[in-house]
Amino acid sequence: MNTFNSAWMNEDLAIFRDAAARFIDTQMVPHDAAWRAQQHVGREIWRKAGELGLLCTDVSAEYGGGGGDFRHEAVLYEELGRRGLSGFGQGVHSICAHYLVNHGTDEQRRRFLPRMASGELIGAIGMTEPAAGSDLQGIRTRAIRDGDHYVINGSKIFITNGYLSGLIALVVKTSPSEGAKGTSIIMVETAALNGFRVGRILDKMGMKAQDTAELFFEDVRVPAANLLGGAEGQGFYQLMSDLPYERALIAVAAVAAMEGAVAQTLQYVKQRKAFGKTIAEFQNTKFKLAELATKTRIARIFVDDCIAKIVAGTLDTVSASMAKYWVTDTQQEVLDECVQLHGGYGYMNEYLVCRMFADARVQRIYGGTNEIMKEVISRSL
Ligand SMILES: Cc1cc2nc3c(=O)[nH]c(=O)nc-3n(C[C@H](O)[C@H](O)[C@H](O)COP(=O)(O)OP(=O)(O)OC[C@H]3O[C@@H](n4cnc5c(N)ncnc54)[C@H](O)[C@@H]3O)c2cc1C
The DSSP secondary structure of 167-217, one letter per residue, reads EEEEEEESSGGGGGGGEEEEEEE-TT-TTEEEEEEP--SS-TTS--EEEEE
pLDDT digits (tens, 9 = 90+) for 312-345: 999 999 999 999 999 999 999 999 999 999 999 9
User: Active-site residue among 73, 214, 246, 259?
Assistant: 246
Handedness of CA 22, 23, 24, 27 (dihedral sign): positive
For range 156-180, the mean pLDDT: 96
Using the atom order of ligand 1, give the atom closest to the CA of residue 124: 8
Q: How much of the chain exceeds pLDDT 70, in percent?
A: 99
Nearest Cα to Cα of residue 318 among 331, 333, 306: 306
Q: How much of the chain exceeds pLDDT 90, in percent?
A: 97
Calpha distance 104→199 (Å, rounded)? 28
Calpha distance 224→228 (Å, rounded)? 9
Calpha distance 174→234 (Å, rounded)? 10
Decide if 246 is catalytic: yes
119 confidence band (pLDDT: 50, 70, 90): very high
2 confidence band (pLDDT: 50, 70, 90): low
Which SS3 state, helix, strand or coil, does residue 145 take? strand
Q: What global pTM score does this model have?
A: 0.97
For range 120-140, the mean pLDDT: 96
For range 15-39, the mean pLDDT: 97
How many A from CA of 362 to the centre of ligand 1? 10
**Environment class of 368 (CB within 10 Å of its CB; exposed 0-12, middle 13-18, buried 19+):** buried
pLDDT digits (tens, 9 = 90+) for 277-325: 999 999 999 999 999 999 999 999 999 999 999 999 999 999 999 999 9
How many A from CA of 243 to the centre of ligand 1? 14
Calpha distance 377→319 (Å, rounded)? 8
Within 6 A (CB) of ligand 1 lie 92, 125-128, 133-134, 158-160, 204, 207, 212, 362, 365-366, 368-369, 371-372, 375
Helices 43-51 and 106-118, packing angle to 10 deg: 100
How many A from CA of 84 to the centre of ligand 1? 22
φ, ψ at 49 (rounded to 5°): -65, -40
Using the atom order of ligand 1, give the atom closest to the CA of residue 92: 8
For range 105-119, the mean pLDDT: 98
CA 170 to centroid of chain Cα atoms: 17
DSSP label of 63: G
Supply the residue whose CA is at minimum distance from atom 23 of ligand 1.
133
CA 310 to centroid of chain Cα atoms: 16
H/E element holding 47?
Answer: helix 43-51
Taking residue 7's Cβ as centre, other Cβ atoms within 10 Å add up to 10
Instruction: Report CA dihedral (79, 261, 361, 284) to the nearest 10 degrees.
Output: 160
Nearest Cα to Cα of residue 282 among 294, 269, 271, 292: 269
Residues 6+ apart with CB under 8 A from 326: 299, 302
Residue 179 has what pLDDT?
82
Calpha distance 61→39 (Å, rounded)? 33
Please report, for residues 87, 96, 134, 182, the alpha-carbon distance to residue 137 in angstroms, rounded to integers and kept in the order given.
29, 20, 9, 9
pLDDT at 371 over 70: yes
pLDDT digits (tens, 9 = 90+) for 188-230: 999 999 999 999 999 999 999 999 999 999 999 999 999 999 9
pLDDT at 4 over 90: no
pLDDT at 1 over 50: no
For range 61-86, the mean pLDDT: 97
How many A from CA of 170 to the centre of ligand 1? 17
Supply the residue whose CA is at minimum distance from atom 45 of ligand 1.
371
Q: Are 201 and 195 in contact (CB under 8 A)?
A: no
Amino acid at 69: D
For range 79-89, the mean pLDDT: 97
Calpha distance 112→115 (Å, rounded)? 6
